[in-house]
Structure 1
Amino acid sequence: MEVLSSRILVRPSDPGRSRRFYQDVMGLAVYREFGPAEDPGLVFFLGQGFLELSGRSDGVPGRTFAIWLQVRDLSAEHERLSAAGVRVTRSPRREPWGLVEMWIEDPDGTPIVLVEIPDDHPLRRDQRRSVPG
């Protein structure tokens, strides 16, 4: 599998408390903010990777985090991983936020989301304004 980028996903029981902890206490720099202004998801820089706080935990121990892996061809990975007997908990589908996602689990049940960024998604484009030369 060719992984293009990765991050750790945290589904906190109290998103506001966790945002304050990682941003204000830990001092992590924000890479990206998304979703509603009153309850945004945040992605923090984490060395060579990222830490994303989004959604909310259902309170089940061990289900407050997941691994996020961006891949080039999600259909090919779905076929390959299914053939290898990997448990697919959610088949590939385009999400309302525009990414194509598939969820699997590792042998211990750790959730792993595999993501393909479609060509027409804003993450594929340089969002900076060009500076007149």
Structure 2
Amino acid sequence: MEVLSSRILLRPRDPDRSVAFYRDVLGLAVYREFPGGTVFFAGAGFLEVSGRGETGPGPDVVLWLQVRDLAGTADELARRNVPVVREPRVEPWGLREMWIADPDGLRIVLVEIPDDHPLRKDQRD
């Protein structure tokens, strides 16, 4: 199988509210819009908010977004009144993480990879 592109599809209970959250609150740039949906840039991937869901997200699905500066992001989200599910902290695996949720309760983990973390090192040595 050759994968050329990928995206996560969200089916929110209130599409307008969710599009406003990802566009206006989180500040994700719009990749494209079409009747009934909006696709956002999400780092190296895409997040599509389209259609309408009935039940909301399950507890086993989490959106992972890497940010450059977690402390700055936390301050920015606080100014935008985004409720924090879990305050920023360094995890045992060395990543800095904080948790928020979208309007339907989808958990979003915001991650900063420290300069000295193995994910930033050339592993070919």
Q: TM-score category by the smaller chain?
A: 0.5 to 0.7
Distance 1:106 1:71 in 2: 17
Task: Please name the residue that 1:88 is paired with.
Answer: 84
Whether 2:58 is the aligned partner of 1:62: answer yes
Moved segments of 4+, more than 2 Å: none
> Could you state the TM-score of these two structures normalised by the residue count of structure 1?
0.51
The percent identity for this pair of structures is 64
- Aligned residues between the structures: 73
Task: Please name the residue that 1:75 is paired with.
Answer: 71
| 1:82 CA drift (Å) | 1.2
Query: Where does the alignment leave 5 or more consecutive residues of structure 1 unmatched?
Result: 1-6, 9-47, 50-60
Q: Deviations over 1:88-112 (max 9, x none)?
A: 0111100000000000001111100
Whether 2:122 is the aligned partner of 1:126: answer yes
Distance 2:58 2:89 in 1: 25
Task: Please name the residue that 2:95 is paired with.
Answer: 99
CA RMSD of aligned residues (A): 1.8
> Could you state the TM-score of these two structures normalised by the residue count of structure 2?
0.54
Distance 2:74 2:122 in 1: 28
| 1:65 CA drift (Å) | 0.3
